[in-house]
Amino acid sequence: MSSHGVCKMYNIGGDDTTSGDYRLFRSAVGSGYSHPCVAELANDCDRNTFYHSLYGERYAWWNVDLGSSVSIYIVRVHPYVRTPDVYNRFHDVEVSVGMVPAVGGDASAYTVLGLFIGPFTDDTCCSVDFSLGSPVSARYVHVRLTTANSILNDYLLLEEVEVLTQEF
């Protein structure tokens, strides 16, 4: 529970659920992944798994279909920052939301919720919240790197992406 809303996981085929493994209920895709860290692992309610974009991939992205339009207040991103060699990889990350699929990762028509410049310097932070301060109606959530400067540090590593709504 948040002071702003409830983290809800959306079951595309039925009622909303707030418990259990919901990776099968939401459709997540990414620009590419480093095996076995597939896109679905960033929304499986398990902070011990994570999505890892491909090595050397420029402008990596991740997108999830919530199944229907919802009022989104906050998108909370939990980056994978457990070891010193990956602290600096969560940087220049933009989160946006929209009503249509981001075909090929193109979310240019989406509403941008925010940009995290970063990077982290250690593992003391657990998440980053992205919000406009008031709810935005959307069906899709998109997370992407806005830079592609370094083959060593430009990876998208996501432990979990939570969508918090105003619906109680």
For residue range 69-118, list pLDDT tens digits in order: 888 888 988 888 877 777 778 889 999 999 999 988 899 999 999 999 88
Q: Where are the domains of the chain?
A: 6-165
pLDDT for res 100:
94
CB atoms within 10 A of CB 78: 18
pLDDT per residue over 106-129, tens digit each? 999 999 999 998 877 766 667 888
Task: Give strand pairing partners of 30.
Answer: 62
Of the candidates 166, 167, 137, 146, which has an alpha carbon nearest to the alpha carbon of residue 66? 137
Q: How confident is the model at residue 9 (pLDDT cuts 50, 70, 90)?
A: very low
Q: Which pLDDT score, from 0 to 100, does residue 139 have?
A: 92
The highest-level CATH class for domain 6-165 is mainly beta
Q: Which two tokens stand for residue 164?
A: 């918090």
Instruction: Using DSSP bridges, classify how beta strands 6-7 and 136-145 pair: parallel, antiparallel or unpaired.
Output: unpaired
Q: What is the phi/psi pair of residue 129, to 5°?
A: -95, 135
| 8 A C-beta contact, residue 41 and residue 50 | yes
Comparing 20-29, 146-155, 157-166, the range with the smallest average pLDDT is 20-29
Would you state the structure tokens that stand for residue 74, as one six-digit string? 């906050």
Per-residue CA distances from 157 to 79, 110, 138, 143 (Å): 6, 22, 23, 11
Predicted confidence at residue 115, as pLDDT, reads 93
User: Residue 151: CA atoms inside 13 Å, Cβ hemisphere, count?
Assistant: 2
Q: Which residue has the higher pLDDT, 80 or 20?
A: 80
Q: Which residue has the tokens 């798994």?
A: 49
The answer, as to whether pTM is greater than 0.85, is: no
